């Protein structure tokens, strides 16, 4: 098989999530945008198998490697793997960027019929498993979304101390793993980040969705990057763009936004009525999965600090396994209503807490929620007291350094 890189930075959180499903007939599906580190997690899994089984039969295919260019459809994929299977033994099958293989689901479905086949596949589009493969495999696959490096992973990869200067670097350049090979300087890092952004847009949005109006797509991405954390509907975006002499129908805005979400470029966060316990059909917020990409599109401007802070809090909550929505309580807005394992966490985000009216608003909105679930305010300053009328305040760096496993006050 293709040589595995010797320098692999561990991402143990993902390995521990996947480990319980190893050596089962459930197909392990790793999804996330390009260059987010899916391949290196496969390498970690391969090394783990080799460590535990010295003579393991490992079949590895990387569709970004010209060595495997001939594998273009399900039949060539199936034939290649079939020739390398060993009977009466467990076979470990790894296929990287499987979406580049036409009708790959047919080969995966057939290979999964053999209980001796332990299958791992990666892809760069969230919808590629919601159709044919999901129908073919039924409940016999499990999906893991791989995100950009968390703050603590960023520190580990770059060998940085946990201080405010490192936090600023993280908020500026984001968590693309390959940045460890480059100096964290504006002209160098952003040139690389821009190239990844262009690849995602071209290969996973424009080509996959056959988008013709690429000029509007770029305008939409720029609009979302400049308005991170603002509440919109497809119609309101369409109306705004019309005011800028860009005519585009609301349904097309929705389709393009869906494509950006499917390519993992953005998170689309819905709106939840806390009192009525129901979701609104209209109105959502958009956040970028990678802060470096967001800053490459919109620029790293001092006046955007509050937007970046809210974006990075959202990303951390999602990476910690929460289902995240925007909360609505009468006329008030709760930045994030987060649910996980039957529990709820309410989160407000504030750039600063130096003024009485800010303190009253951020903590006051949470105090109006009449249930006993934990509520926290995350801010960009450390000087404020740790609690306010029983609601905990957490400095952003401390928040990003936690896995949110504990129950808050």
What is each CA distance from 353 to 61, 146, 248, 329, in whole angstroms? 52, 33, 40, 22
Q: Can you name the residues that pair with 339 across neighbouring β-strands?
A: 323, 344
Per-residue pLDDT reduced to its tens digit, 329-383? 988 899 999 999 999 999 999 999 988 999 999 999 999 998 999 999 999 988 8
Q: What whole-number distance in Å separates Cα of residue 175 and Cα of residue 193?
A: 10
pLDDT at 3: 66
Domain 12-145: which topology?
Answer: Rossmann fold (3.40.50)
Per-residue pLDDT reduced to its tens digit, 317-344? 999 999 999 999 988 899 999 999 999 9
pTM of the model: 0.94
Q: Round the CA-based radius of gyration of the chain to a whole number and report it.
A: 22
Query: Residue 30 contacts by C-beta under 8 Å, 6 or more apart in sequence?
Result: 18, 38, 41, 42, 120, 121, 122, 123, 143, 144, 146
Q: Can you name the residues that pair with 394 across neighbouring β-strands?
A: 378
- Please say whether the beta carbons of 275 and 286 come within 8 A: no
pLDDT at 408: 45
DSSP state letter for 289? S
**CA-based diameter of the chain, in Å?**
71
pLDDT at 407: 44
Edge-first strand listing for the sheet containing 323-329: 278-279, 271-273, 323-329, 332-340, 343-350, 375-379, 391-395, 387-388
Place of tokens 């993280």: 170
Q: Write phi, then psi, for 217 (nearest 5 degrees).
A: -55, -45
pLDDT at 1: 58
Q: What whole-number distance in Å separates Cα of residue 102 and Cα of residue 120?
A: 17
Segments of the chain scoring below 50 in pLDDT: 406-409
Ordered alpha helix ranges (H), 227-370: 234-243, 250-262, 291-298, 305-319, 356-367
Q: What whole-number distance in Å separates Cα of residue 168 and Cα of residue 400?
A: 12
Domain assignments of the chain as residue spans, ordered by start: 12-145, 151-400
């Amino acid at each position: 098989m293709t040589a595995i890189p010797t320098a692999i930075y561990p991402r143990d959180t993902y390995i521990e999530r996947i480990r319980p499903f190893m050596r089962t007939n459930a197909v392990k599906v790793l999804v996330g945008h390009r260059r987010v580190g899916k391949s290196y997690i496969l390498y970690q899994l391969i090394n783990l198998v080799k460590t535990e089984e010295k003579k393991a039969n490992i079949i590895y295919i990387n569709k970004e490697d010209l060595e495997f260019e001939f594998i273009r459809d399900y039949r060539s994929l199936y034939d290649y793997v079939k020739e390398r299977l060993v009977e009466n033994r467990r076979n470990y099958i790894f296929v990287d960027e499987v979406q580049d293989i036409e009708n790959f689901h047919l080969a995966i479905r057939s290979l999964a019929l053999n209980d001796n086949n332990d299958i791992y596949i990666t892809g760069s589009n969230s919808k590629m498993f919601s159709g044919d493969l999901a129908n073919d495999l039924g409940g016999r696959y499990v999906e893991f979304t791989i995100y950009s490096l968390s703050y603590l992973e960023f520190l580990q990869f770059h060998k940085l101390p946990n201080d405010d200067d490192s936090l600023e670097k993280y908020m500026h350049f984001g968590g693309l793993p390959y940045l460890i090979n480059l100096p964290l300087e504006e002209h160098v890092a952003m040139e690389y980040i821009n190239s990844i952004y262009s690849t995602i847009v071209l290969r996973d949005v424009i080509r996959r969705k056959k988008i013709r109006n690429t000029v509007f797509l770029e305008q939409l991405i720029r609009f979302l990057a400049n308005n991170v954390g603002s509440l919109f509907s497809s119609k309101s975006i369409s109306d705004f763009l019309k005011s800028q002499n860009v005519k585009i129908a609301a349904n097309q805005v929705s389709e393009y936004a869906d494509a950006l979400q499917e390519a993992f470029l953005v998170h689309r966060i819905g709106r939840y009525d806390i009192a009525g316990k129901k979701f609104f059909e209209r109105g959502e917020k958009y956040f970028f999965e990678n802060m470096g990409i967001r800053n490459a599109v919109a620029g790293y401007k001092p006046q955007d600090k509050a937007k970046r802070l809210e974006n990075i809090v959202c990303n951390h909550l999602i990476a910690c396994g929460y289902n995240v929505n925007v909360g609505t309580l009468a006329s008030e807005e709760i930045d994030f209503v987060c649910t996980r394992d039957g529990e709820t966490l309410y989160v407000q985000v504030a750039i600063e807490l130096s003024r009485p009216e800010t303190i009253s608003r951020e903590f006051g909105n949470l105090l109006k929620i009449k249930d006993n679930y934990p509520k926290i305010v995350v801010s960009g300053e450390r000087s404020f007291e740790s609690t306010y009328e029983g609601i905990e305040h957490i400095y952003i760096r401390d928040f990003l350094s936690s896995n949110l496993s504990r129950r808050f006050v």
